[in-house]
Amino acid sequence: MQPLERPANPGEIFDFHAHYDDAAFDPDRDEVLRELPDFGVCGVLNCGVDLSSSRACIALAERYAYCYAAAGYHPENLDGSPLDVDALCELLRAPKVVAVGEIGLDYHWEADEAGRKWQVDCFTRQLELANELGYPVIVHDRDAHADTLELLRRYRPQGVVHCFSGSAEMAEELLKLGLYLGVGGVSTFQNAKKIRAVLETLPLDRLLLETDAPYLAPVPYRGTRCHSGMIIRVAEAIAELRATTREEVLARSLENGKRLFRL
């Protein structure tokens, strides 16, 4: 694991978006998950990207007391076949599953009109399901801000827009809908002017800290395999923008996530 000093206050980091089922952790997954509490990690929410990944996230939640799971179909993992809604419902009823996710729209790799329409259909179906079953949602929005906002306005779910990358205006609209913004390593990148501007004024009761591990490691670990202990760097970056302490930022995020996911 990436060398990182141990935090002053153990048990203060909750990573509200990670993928420890990802193949990047195949060589040493259990070692990493056993060590995370030593880095101050008190909780991890693993997000499924399809049925088998959701099952793997649930298995991790069964094995590690501090792990929770979300189940859903990620827009990049739709293969064109119909969603297996019955199987998804069954997974959502498993203990320690706290959200429908990761769901949403990703137009970055999908230029095709029919492909985008299919993403909208699948996102819509999962938003309906979350509302029916009373779950919050974990939303992925990449280069699809307008359509994402429109669907969130229509369905009004509780939830978080993870790895928020929109404008201050978009943030404003999401806050009006009662949604939370997920913020991770990108906020520490030099060129991340947009998210840093949002963070200057974002009410701290709508912030959720996350990694998206194994992706998006914060500076100074950028480009390496990310783990939840690195959230300390994100909390420090936000604390600097807000003239507060990293402990305060970590504590507020923890409080928010517990409220949203009813932990």
Residues near Zn ion (CB under 5 A) are 102, 212
**CB-nearer residue toward Zn ion: 12 or 102:** 102
Return the residue nearest Zn ion (CB atom): 212
- What is the three-class DSSP state of 6? coil
Residue 167 has what DSSP assignment?
A: -
Question: Which H/E stretch holds residue 159?
Answer: strand 159-161
Cα angle, residue 66 at apex, residues 123 and 214 outer, rounded to 5°? 55
**CB-nearer residue toward Zn ion: 7 or 13:** 13
Q: What are phi and psi of 178, to 5 degrees?
A: 85, 15
In terms of DSSP bridges, do strands 67-71 and 137-142 run parallel, antiparallel, or are they unpaired? unpaired
* Distances 110 to 119, 164, 209 between C-alpha atoms, Å: 9, 19, 28
**CB-nearer residue toward Zn ion: 102 or 106:** 102
Cα angle, residue 34 at apex, residues 30 and 39 outer, rounded to 5°? 130
**CB-nearer residue toward Zn ion: 37 or 182:** 182
Q: Residue 212 Cβ, how far from Zn ion at the closest point, in Å?
A: 5
Q: Residue 45 Cβ, how far from Zn ion at the closest point, in Å?
A: 10
Q: Residue 47 Cβ, how far from Zn ion at the closest point, in Å?
A: 5
Q: Residue 17 Cβ, how far from Zn ion at the closest point, in Å?
A: 6
Question: Residues with Cβ < 8 Å from 82, sequence gap 6 or more?
Answer: none
**CB-nearer residue toward Zn ion: 160 or 254:** 160
Q: Residue 102 Cβ, how far from Zn ion at the closest point, in Å?
A: 5
Placement of tokens 């819509």 in the chain:
124
